[in-house]
Amino acid sequence: MSQYDCIIIGGGLAGLKAAYELKKSGSSVLVLEARNRFGGRTESTKVDDYWFDLGGQWMGGTHKLLQETCKELGIQSFPQYDEGKHVLEINGKKVYYSGNISTLNKDYNLEGLSESIAKIDELASELDPTKPYAHPKVKEWDHMTVTEWTSINVPGKDARTIINWFIRVCLAAEPSEISFLWFLHFIRTAGSYSLLADIHGGAQQDRLIGGSQQISEGIAKKIGDTNFCLNSPVRSIYQDANGCTVKTDLTTFRSKFVIVAIPPTLAGRIEYKPTLPHARDELTQRMPMGHVIKTIVIYDEPFWRKDGYSAEALSDVGPIYICYDDSSHDDKKTAIVGFIAGQPAREWSKKTPEQRKQAVLDCYARWWGPKALKPTHYLEKDWKNEEFSRGCYLAYAGPGVLDSCGAALRTPVGRIHWAGTETASAWIGYMEGALESGIRAAKEVKDKLLSSKL
């Protein structure tokens, strides 16, 4: 039976980064990935020699770990296109605008929007991003949904709609389902509301030439092909006094430690002996994945640019709730990427791909004219149908979860450590957060390996 210092479960960015950090320190590692590919919640697909991302794709201005990793791997980035007029369509009204949404007071009832965002940032700044559940107001904030908070604190109807829309498109769940404390934690780990929403300097600043999945593939190459197994879903982890026994369908492995680098709900489907502590077991049952359908519509020309539009739209009408220009770095392949998220994704998931395609095209035609009805390609990814993701972008916590079992998200259980973007203290839900969590989990294991040798 093969013996390793650490087995890492999950071949996404978090797991691979953890494995790479451990291997660099001289530890023996094995990555077990359930899929037939690396990348986790990043997945790139090729259309006529150009790569498009069906999963995570943006590199933000403050995503320093991601920037460093791309530099190390020789992956180039380019700016997200956003020149021209944007669309804002909420509460039955549609306007085209340039600049910041907050300038639209004459068209919408945005009373309280800027003040509410400032208040959200202020409250979020009070949290310790490594333990949000330790805040003195945990009982109040964690037992309240975001909807409850906005209904009390945001006076303008359109302002409330915009904040609730923001939560749906960022967390892929409804504000009525999400703990206000979890939302504040999400904001805190990013730095501010505007950093999440903005392009320049924000989360959507840059894209990667060749797609984002190549990051995982590049890290895997550095780890070495003898240090990973694909098509190997882990079924059980048994701990004893000397180490861990990890079983897949075909093979059994031994290691001193294990890093589980998959979402909490998937981690809960593994059998553990001894059984997990109550708090950790409860956590895996109470943090569902968000639901998002990502669509990419490819055209033979960027007609929206010629008409003075950016292809950036924010809508509460749908089916697309947010979209951006998704053209290639050299503009030889022009496209629009759009997202159906939260409850609408659950409803549209019941439709056929052809019904979704037509609805998306009709949506774009409503904003930019009949040329939108004539694409060359239509791509989509419903992440709820992905067996080893069960959703995207990340898991979320409903009311009471952080208060009752939030500490279990990162706390090791004996020889088992936890990684994944949900466990990060910076940029949860993003590629940056995944990398950060992998580094943190690897350090935890390295410290234990070192202490065992002393």
Nearest Cα neighbor of 314 from 155, 91, 143 is: 91
Which of 337, 416, 386, 450 minimizes the C-alpha distance to 52?
A: 337
At 316, is the secondary structure helix, strand, or coil? coil
Alpha-helix residue ranges (DSSP H) falling in 13-134: 13-24, 64-73, 113-125
18 among annotated binding-site residues: no
How wide is the angle at C-alpha 126 spanned by C-alphas 278 and 100, nearest 5°?
115
CA dihedral sign of residues 407, 410, 416, 421: positive
CA distances from 406 to 20, 34, 127, 180, 184 (A): 28, 27, 13, 14, 14
- H and E: helices and strands count for the chain: 16, 20
Count of CB atoms situated within 10 Å of the CB of 277: 15
Task: For residue 34, say whether it is annotated as part of any ligand binding site.
Answer: yes
Encode 206-235 in three state secondary structure: EEECCCCHHHHHHHHHHHCHHHEECCCCEE
DSSP-derived letter for residue 391 is S
- Name the residue among 338, 421, 422, 73 with its Cα closest to residue 213: 73
**422 labelled ligand-binding:** yes
Cα separation, 61 vs 6, whole angstroms: 33
140 is in an annotated binding site: no
Give the Cβ contact number of residue 224 at 10 Å: 11
Q: Which residues are annotated as a binding site?
A: 33-34, 234, 339, 422
Q: Which residues are annotated as a binding site for FAD?
A: 33-34, 234, 422
Q: Which residues are annotated as a binding site for substrate?
A: 339
